[in-house]
Structure formats: C-alpha cells, structure tokens
Chain A
Amino acid sequence: MDNNKLIEEKFVVEINKVDLIFNKNSKKEFKALEKLDIKIRNGQIFCLLGPNGSGKTTTINLINGLLEPTHGDITVLGMKPSKSRKTVLRKISLVPQETALYNDLTARENLLFHARYYGVNRKYISKKVDEVLGIVQLKNRQNDRVGTFSGGMQRRLALARALLTEPEILLLDEPTLGVDVQSRNAIWEQIRTLALEGKTVILTTNYMEEAEALGEQVLIIDKGKPVKSGSPNELKRYIGQKQMIIHFTDTTYAKQVYDYIAKDYDVTFKGNQLNVNTNTLNIQFQLLQQLSKYEKHMSHLDYSEPNLQDVFLHFTGKELRD
C-alpha cells in the first residue's frame, strides 16, 4: 500500500529551470522559454494555459523530445527525452493541434496505418482498433473517409489514435480547438475517464472553461515565462476575494452606508452599489447584521467570485497577441 502511494506521488514529468533559446548567439536569437518549472504527478490532468505564441506547444515539444532545453533539466518518467527518445516515445502519445489524419483514408484505415507503423503487435491490431473506436464512439463511422468527418469527430479520432499505443502520458495540444459544445463535452469526458484509469494527461489550451473543467493543476504561461500555477481554485483565490454586492434604491443611501462601513471593511463605492470584499461567511453575516437598519433602502444582494478568465487577464494583461 505504501509502495503504491509512493508510486502515485512520483513526478512523471519534471521540468527544472528550463530555458530554451532559438538561434543562440545570432541576430535572430529568440528566448522561447524562460525559467520554466513544472512538476506533474502520475494520473494528474495538467493544464498549460496561455495565449497564442506563449510557448505551450514548445513545452510539449520539450516533453516529447523534439526540442532540447538550452539550460536546465527535463525528465519524463525518469528519462531525458532528448537522450532516451525512443523509450520515452513508447510511453507517451501526442494528439497534435492539427489532428494529423489522412482525409482520404477511412477512420479505421487511419488507425490501422498508425498501429502498423508504430509496431503494435499484429495479432492484436484489429482488436485494439475496435477498442479505441469504441472509446471515442466512432465505431459506426469507422468505414467513412476522415475528410467527411466534422472537426469534433476528427479530434476524437486523433485521440483514439493516441490511445492505440497504450501510453502512460497523453499530450493533448489544444484538444478541443474549433469543435462544437457537444464534441467538446464528449472529449472532456473521455479525458476525465483516462485520468481516472491512471493516465497522466498534459493538455494545452487557451480556453478558460477547459482549464477550469479539466485542470487539476494549471500553469499560466505567457511570452515563454511561467506566470502562475496552482489548482483553478487556488488561482482564483490568489487574485481576488469573494465580493458581496449591495444594491441600494438610491445613490444617497449607498454613500451613507459606504461612509458608515468604510473604516471596517474593504469596500468600493460605485453609483448605487457597494462592492465589499468578504472572504468568509462570518464576515458576510456580521456585515448584514450591521446593515439591517438600512434594509428598506437595499434593493437586492449579489455575490461574485473571480473566474479563471479574470485570473488569466490579471496575469497576462489585455494586449493583443500575434
């Protein structure tokens, strides 16, 4: 039991103080990643959240060994991907952004080709293809050409292809890019199931709701630099407190109450409303008791808490990206 716990606690991916510089010592020198630190546990869904060009795919390429860090260390399942590339690639699977499927082959032919190229045991190829087609619910369309598939179906098929080789780590680069809500939910469900089965899932996204829905651990990355990491709740707590929003029937009363509580509470005054930072239920209860004499001048109460988008914009700013 202790041993199992020990295995579960092991980091499957460790990135320590990694810098990645393209065209070093030339005029075109470009720092793609800077001081990147990531530790991912076995069976975790780890989410890299960042705007376009922030270095998400570059990080994925470091993990799969396509790139080598300029400084720092990276280990995947205890191995350096650039040195033990073949062994690492046997244990990881990537679903790239562009799905990488042959449009003129059927879904089944695509999977059969990949399994044969990868070297899946010939005896089990057909069974394995059936199995993964079942997982992504594409069995009924297995003999249709991929060119006729919707974006969501193609992404599900790409996920099936990644599962053919029974990887320990799944790298999903923007897994729901451009798909409809139904397909997105189906893909999320499949990702959760895979994590429950013990697979480590590393995904990149620039969709807040995706990071919030899936990420047990989220790293916000911007311009190649790690900005903040934590669980979605930790991140939200970091940038702001829960707020109680008190609406008054008139601005005059709002001002009066503001003057009354400003010395005791973190409060802002906006027209006929007051925004009061209230982290605990206790504070909220205490405040409402204090304001009972103004009850007839209060129209209604709202509660708000920061979402991941607020967190994201807080850390990455509002400037447009390329």
Chain B
Amino acid sequence: MFHSILAIVCKDLLLIIRKPMFSIISLLVPLLFIIFYALVIHTSSTNPIVIANHSEGPYTDRFIDILQEIKSVEGPYLEIITLDSELAFEKYNNRQVDALLEIPKSFEKNLSTGKQSALKLKVFNINSDGTKNYQLRIDHALYEFHKSLNEESIISTNEDMTFVQDTPMKSYVSTGLLIFSVLLTSMVSTGTLMAREWEERTAKSIVLTPKGFLPLIVGKWVTAFLVTVVNTVLVLPLLYILLGYPIGQMTTLVWFYLLLFFLYGSAAGVLLGVLFKKTLPIVPISVVIGMSEFLVSSLESYIRGFAHGGMTEWLWRLGSWWPSSEIIDTIRFTVEGFEQIAINWGALFYMALWVGLMIIIALIKLNKQLSFTQGQ
C-alpha cells in the first residue's frame, strides 16, 4: 500500500513539474487576490473624509481637533483630506472621497448660546457597511466632543456587538484569504490530478491492479497536500508583508483547522474530478466555489451589511449556518490572541462532520465512476 501511494505521489509530482499550469493558477489566484485586497483595505481602513467647514471659533476648532485625534486599533478614525468648503464639495462630487461632513455657519453661534446644532453627513453609500462606518465614527467624535464640554450627548447610538472585541480588518480579511488559498489549491490540485486519470484514460489500468483504488485516492491527497503546503508557505509571507497577518500567532490548533479546510477542499476536488473527468472546467469551478466560501463564510459580517431582506438576507443567514463560518471566526480570534477564545468543540464537530460527509460522498462517487461498465 505504502509503495503504491508513493508511486502515485512521485508520478503526479513529476507530471506537475512537466505540466505546471494548474498549480501555477492555483497559486496565482490567491496571490492576486491578496494583492488586490491589500490595496482595497489600505484605502478603506483610513476612512478618508472631507469637511466643508462654514463655521469659525473655539468650539469649531475643538470639534475639528477631536475629529483629527480620535483613533481605533486600525489607526486614525478619519483621514481628513480638506477643511476647505469649496474643495470639499468638489472632491465629493468628483467621487474622489466617499464622505463629506458639513459644519454649518450657525454651528459656533448655536453652541456658544447653548442651542442645538445639526451637522450634515453626506456619504457615497457604496455599501451600508461603509455608511455605518462613517456614521459610527462621527457619532463617536460627537460623543468625545460633548464629553469635553460636559454636555449630554445629542446623538446616541446603540450597538449590539456579537464579539467582545473588534478584529482588525486586515487580519479579518487575511484569514478569509488564507482559507480561500488553502481551499482553492486543494480543490484544483486534487480535482485536476483526479481528472487527468480520466483524461489520459489511465484510471482503468490502475483500478485493475490488485491494489485497487485506495492507494490512488490517498496518493492524490498526499500530492495535493504537498502542493497546498508549498502554496501556503508562499502565501503566508505575502499576507504578513501586505496585510500584517500575525503569522507568529498561528497555533497548532490553527494549523489543524487549516488541515480540515484542506480535507474539505480535496474532497470537493475529488468530486469535481470524477464528475467532470476533464481538467479544464475544474479551475473556474474551484474559483467559484472558493470565492463563494470566501464571501459567504469568510466575509460573513460584510454580507450582513447588505442584508436587509431579500436574497442577501438569506445568503447571510446561510453564511451564519455554513459549517466553516464559525471555524473561520475561531481562527481569526486565535491568531489575534483573544484569551476568551478556547477550542470551539461544537463548531469543530460540525466542521469535522461536514468534511467527513464530503469525503464519504467523494469516495462513493469515485468508486462508482471506477466501474467502467462500458466499452468504447
């Protein structure tokens, strides 16, 4: 059995070296994704804003100071591009910035006489998550402002936080990207390795040996595992360099979770391989599955921002029930070193059950496809 598995691994690695296209694709897609996200997150995490200030005086100055000083774990709350009213409107109207805060001329006079004053927040609402982001930050700035004046808050916000602590957005997305990379590589590798046996019509000659199909599947998984390890080793430094992913805090448990995702991806790969029996469709389908997994379970809170009824609401609800969602969050909290996060046995069992089911289905399907009942 061992020698048969070794024979499959050596043969497949040799074929990968001679025909590396699919391995390169499975590495390039996550790498490009990471670079893309690194650019997007860099711009969105600073929350650029323009202020159209029509007011003058100490209250106004103090409020602007607070807007400039308030910070979160990700950095400054707001990156104020300009305070010039005319330039602010020009930039906002040209969509060079997503939010504009207008301080009315009456702001200073109203505050100095103890009257209420209204600010105007204009947001280019590309998604509700971004809108909420600006609203909350301005709310917090107002809160700080009123506190410094010993006044009661005019605007109050009630938030129901699912988690006790925010995960930095870069880390949040990085974990999703890491899972995407592991899933995609394992799916593409196992799927194409399996499909090649049909494409080259070699599966039958392997099955018709006394060794049967078990060494074939184990050999494919071992090869796919080696390819996934290589890809992960290349992806992790990029995540660290571009998104500051805390690689050092990846515990044994995190690696175990990644192994589960590898098994999940490779079982899906076997299914794709035996269903299509052709290598070409496996790559785009794997990308679609990987992206769906990334969007539904890895970016669950992002989707929640869109979820106000209709299909998106259902998608979000599906995401929160999807077996991998909770495991991905657990990985996030573990690498962030949140003390309150222990092993989530329920989620682990659920995920293990899901992976086990996928493997069983893949093996049944493979066994059935290896019957070769027909001649030509």
Q: A residues within 8 Å of B by Cβ?
A: 22, 32, 52-53, 56-58, 61, 64, 66-67, 85-87, 89-90, 94, 96-105, 109, 113-114, 116-119, 122, 161, 165, 173
Closest-CB distance, B200 to chain A (whole angstroms): 6
The interface residues of chain B lying within 8 Å CB-to-CB of A165 are 209
Alpha-carbon distance A154/B206, docked complex (angstroms): 17
> B193: shortest Cβ distance to chain A, in Å?
12
Distance, CA A89 to CA B7, complexed state (A): 19
CB-defined A-B contacts under 8 Å, sample of 10 = A67-B371, A96-B204, A98-B204, A100-B200, A104-B18, A114-B205, A116-B3, A116-B10, A118-B4, A122-B3
| Chain B min CB distance to A224 (Å) | 12
Indicate if B212 sits at the interface (CB-CB under 8 A). yes
Kindly report which residue of chain B lies nearest to residue A100, judged by CB atoms.
B205
B208 CB within 8 Å of chain A: yes
Excluding A66-B372, A89-B210, 15 further A-B contacts by CB distance (< 8 Å) are A22-B373, A52-B376, A53-B375, A64-B208, A89-B208, A98-B204, A100-B203, A101-B200, A103-B200, A116-B6, A117-B7, A117-B215, A118-B210, A165-B209, A173-B375
- Render B218-251 as a binary contact track against A, CB cut-off 8 A, 1 for contact: 0000000000000000000000000000000000
Q: Is B42 close to A, CB under 8 A?
A: no
Q: Which residues of B contact A173 (CB under 8 A)?
A: 375
Determine the chain A residues whose CB is within 8 A of the CB of B204 once the complex forms: 94, 96, 98, 100
CA distance A94 to B8 in the complex (A): 20
- Tell me if B210 and A86 are in contact (CB < 8 A): yes
CA distance A114 to B211 in the complex (A): 11
In the complex, which residues of chain B have a beta carbon less than 8 angstroms from the beta carbon of A113? 7, 10-11
Residue numbers in B under 8 Å from A99 (CB-CB): 201
Q: Are B15's CB and A105's CB within 8 A?
A: yes
Task: Determine if B95 is an interface residue (Cβ-Cβ < 8 Å).
Answer: no
Contact B205 A161 (CB under 8 A): yes
A105 near B14: Cβ-Cβ < 8 Å: yes
Which residues of B, 187-216, contact A by the 8 Å Cβ criterion?
A: 200-212, 215
Q: Which chain A positions have C-beta within 8 A of B14?
A: 105, 109
B162 within 8 Å of A by Cβ? no
**Closest chain B residue to A96 by CB distance?**
B204
B374 sits at the interface (CB 8 A): yes
Chain A residues within 8 Å of B7, by CB: 113, 116-117
Residues of B within 8 A of A109 (CB): 11, 14
Of the candidates A87, A102, A118, the one whose C-beta lies within 8 Å of that of B211 is A118
Contact of A102 among B202, B210, B212 (CB under 8 A): B202
Task: Decide: A97 near B3, CB < 8 A? Known: A86-B210, A102-B15.
Answer: no
Question: Within 8 Å of chain A (Cβ to Cβ): is B115?
Answer: no
- Indicate whether A98 sits within 8 Å of B373 (C-beta atoms), given known contacts A89-B210, A118-B209: no
Q: Find residues 11-66 in chain B having any chain A CB closer than 8 Å to their own CB.
A: 11, 14-15, 18-19
A182 to chain B, nearest CB (A): 24
